[in-house]
Structure 1
């Protein structure tokens, strides 16, 4: 069994690592402090083909594949987590349009997404429908050759900077059917609400969306009528590999900062890295993150081969995000009082990583997916 990345994947890793460390990391604290959307970072990702990594060159993508995408996202998230989540959702939306969209939809939106003309947004979550994705209230009523959408969405990443949003809405109440629609900004009846003030990922654009008599042509439906939940779940399966990769990148950055601090910080006449208590915290964190990386690579490899990977993606997400949270806690502990102040990056890493156990399926939902796969 070969655990090594291919030459092409290593080139992606090296390129993105250099970009992220030289350009994104130095201003990550300011992005966080100002709660500023890192538009310039997204433009750089577009220039290097990193916003369309999961669809072909013919549509403006780079077709790098799930493994290279996982590696690239890990490196970006480790430098600036707010940029990482923008990159992740944009790639997820592009892949969904490629997989389920018509040729016209692909030509219309994929070059925009990969070219950095706007991010992608995935509008599933509602005030009353979080983990219960099937409990949506947003309704799309058929009216001639159009659909009229009414409802609201919350916690939508990239919602204020999107060139297109995939909007999930009920199209039939009995039997219940959910469909997906591609809605660009500026569509009458479609409005972006307030930006959320979050604990972490403060540079990420997280907003509510409102649909008040929002009329879209029937040609805007993504996939077939009633396929919305299928599309959402397929997108989330791949997205979970991305979230695992984000968590690994953030946590690695925190552990790296803790290692350097432990070498320099002296107490009782010697570096604290010489104390077993510190050594064991770092060893445990590094071991868990390596295990998380292997789980993420396995899920990405299965996806790249075109075989089922939902269970493995959930395993990667739940383990990587929880291990990453533990690693960030340990990093703060290693730095002690300095870990609690903003002069050092580990407190930001801790705030940024928390949400990885929540979005795109909570840890509890991942355990449901895994257990159902085992028990069916």
Structure 2
């Protein structure tokens, strides 16, 4: 994820094309996520994860070999982005759906935080390694990525997960997707929290591209640009590790408001100077606050969703992340080309301010005070049949 926009910038020199390449993967994921949840509720979720990793391996290898021969074109980069988007769309709901099958419900909140920490470990290690490898040769980050896909597939193959019972009566994908959407529609807490989250996430994804473009145009060395990702990942990792403790100290609503207001206050600092250390420090603080919010919302979702719907609900909620992932980089690249990187930063700060105001005024979020893994009781939710009990 770090090396791909750098590669496009090196090949084309265009921030818009760099944003478009990142956005294409997110758009593909957004489209495929619509049926992905229903399919992962139908199929063996472990096999879904395995085949997703194996599908990414040949295309990322082809890109690396093309770069070694100096024959890589923008079209091949876009193909890699598309395949990655499809695989990610199927992998994510399958992975999330099996988590309650491997940990007890009382441990679910901690498990969600640990899962987030694992992702931030990759975020922390990836940019630094990617920057160094990219400096040595453009192909090396992608060769390393191919090895990680192979290793991930092997680890999934060695993981024992009890297969869930698919529904005995299959209906159309449209009906099954709609069932997950209707479940979310009856849950005001999830609706409100995700509306605020998608606004903040669009801004954060845009800022990632904006600071990369600003650093590259200011002539900051690639190794120092990698420091931005390292600091962002370090902040996210620390926040994920501390998320269970923070959940005992503040309500989910308070965590959402802290993230919104602190992000609004810090973002304008990015417009002061094109300095990799400043960029990384600001994004790192924002990333530090995000896992507490993520853990609260995801734990609530998992604890309150019946097993037969987990893939669909996860995929439907993932659409919000897909919207942010698609719109953020493209918006960031467009703003950089039209109003400059300083204007782009200030525009994101204004959007974060709106997200904070929305969170403060939301009636649903005022009731979001549950900090344990148990979902608070809510009216108008469809009763969970006995057959929906997660298998042990």
Query: Fold-level match, TM-score > 0.5?
Result: no
- Structure (1/2) with the larger helix percentage: 2
Structure with more contact order per residue of length (Cα contacts < 8 Å, sep ≥ 6)? 2
State the TM-score, normalizing by the size of structure 2: 0.31
- Structure (1/2) with the larger strand percentage: 1
